[in-house]
Structure 1
Amino acid sequence: MDEFVIMPNHVHGILWIAGVGANNHSPLHSPLPPSRSPQHPRGTSKTIGSVVRGFKIGVTKWMRENHFDGSVWQRNYYEHVIRDDESLNLIRQYILDNPARWMNDHDNPAVGANNHSPLQDNHSPLQSDGNRKEPR
Structure 2
Amino acid sequence: MNNYYYNPDIHHRRSIRLQGYDYAQKGMYFITLCVQERECIFGTIFENRMFLNEIGQIVTDEWVNTMNIRDNVIIHDFIVMPNHIHGIVEITYNKNNECLIGEFVSPTKSIGAIVRGFKIATTKRIKDFITPVGANGNSPNGNYPLQEWIINHLPHIWQRNYYEHIIRDYNDHERIAKYINTNPSRWEEDMFNE
How far the C-alpha of 1:75 sits from its partner, in A, is 1.1
Partner of 1:53, secondary structure, is helix
How far the C-alpha of 1:44 sits from its partner, in A, is 1.8
Greater RCO between the two (CA within 8 Å, min separation 6)?
2
Instruction: Go from structure 1 to structure 2 and tell me whether the alpha carbon gap of 1:73 and 1:42 turns closer, same or farther (over 3 Å shift).
Output: closer
1:44 equivalent in structure 2: 107
1:105 equivalent in structure 2: 190
2:127 equivalent in structure 1: 64
2:76 equivalent in structure 1: 2
* Equivalent-residue separation in structure 2 for 1:27 and 1:65 (angstroms): 33
- Report how many aligned residue pairs link the two structures: 94
RMSD: 2.4
2:93 equivalent in structure 1: 19
TM-score, normalization by structure 1: 0.62
Q: State whether residues 106 and 113 of structure 2, in contact with CA within 8 Å, keep that contact through their aligned partners in structure 1.
A: no
> Which one has a larger percent strand, Structure 1 or Structure 2?
2
Unaligned 5+ residue runs, structure 2? 1-74, 131-146
Select 2:158's aligned residue among 60, 68, 73.
73
One-letter amino acid matched to 2:96: P
Unaligned 5+ residue runs, structure 1? 21-25, 110-136
Segment of structure 1 superposing worse, 100-109 or 87-96: 100-109
* Equivalent-residue separation in structure 2 for 1:59 and 1:43 (angstroms): 21
* Equivalent-residue separation in structure 1 for 2:159 and 2:81 (angstroms): 14
Among all aligned residue pairs of Structure 1 and Structure 2, give the percentage whose two residues are the same amino acid: 43
One-letter amino acid matched to 1:13: G
Partner of 2:86, secondary structure, is strand
One-letter amino acid matched to 2:80: I
One-letter amino acid matched to 2:109: K
